[in-house]
Amino acid sequence: MKCLSPSILSADFARLGEQIGILEQAGVQYLHFDVMDGQFVQNISFGMPVLKSLRNYTNLMLDVHLMVTEPARLIDQAADCGADIITVHAEACRDLDHTVRLIKNRNLLAGVALNPATPLSALSYILPVIDMVLVMTVNPGQGGQKLIPYTLDKVRDLKTMIGQQGLKTDIEVDGGIDFETLDTALDAGASIIVAGSAIFHGDIEENTNRFLKMMG
């Protein structure tokens, strides 16, 4: 199944609840929640109190993307605040296996994210343990960037790797996905599509319907 995961990084925070309501009405199942710490990436976004408020507000799957150094520190808090999926960066973990197990121990879905230049070999041994791989299709840290084309080669190779191991791991793509790049990302093998500016800039309902239609 293919899922759209709108990134609220591009939302109007003064109207966040209302905008999430529009996504729910349109039939979206996931909500992408980008946590940035000003260290792993330059920007600071939002954190656990906002996640908790959203958990009390919506039943959408909360897809939490931790762009933070040493995310093991935050797993329990993110779980307590209502995350359904927690994704950590391979580049940010001192001990990736340990961090993934902290997520699995809370009975949540575990994702591992790879920056554009990080090779798939970082996943060789951990792939069977995780539920999702987030392939960054831009460098992490801000919305509205252009997709880096070679990252879709990585999605294709990952799809092959998952097939060869007989796994069902989801592939999420994040960054620069819009009406122009969506088709190629889907063709490459992505099953969870993150989109920020392409959803929230302009008419949210119209954009969401258009995405969902293209995703079939």
Of the pair 101, 145, the CB lying nearest ligand DX5 is at: 145
Among 177, 182, 192, 193, binds ligand DX5 (CB under 6 A): 177
174 is catalytic: yes
Among 140, 189, 190, 208, binds ligand DX5 (CB under 6 A): 140
Q: Tell me the closest approach of the beta carbon of residue 67 to ligand DX5, in angstroms.
A: 6
Query: Residue 2, Cβ neighbours under 10 Å: how many?
Result: 13
Of the pair 128, 202, the CB lying nearest ligand DX5 is at: 202
Residues 52-71 that bind ligand DX5 (CB under 6 A): 65
Contact status: 63 vs Zn ion (CB under 5 A): no
Of the pair 145, 184, the CB lying nearest ligand DX5 is at: 145
Contact status: 144 vs ligand DX5 (CB under 6 A): yes
Closest CA to 45 of 113, 145, 142: 142
**Positions in the binding site for ligand DX5 (CB under 6 A):** 7, 9-10, 32, 34, 65, 138, 140-145, 174-177, 194-198
Which sequence positions are flagged as catalytic? 34, 174
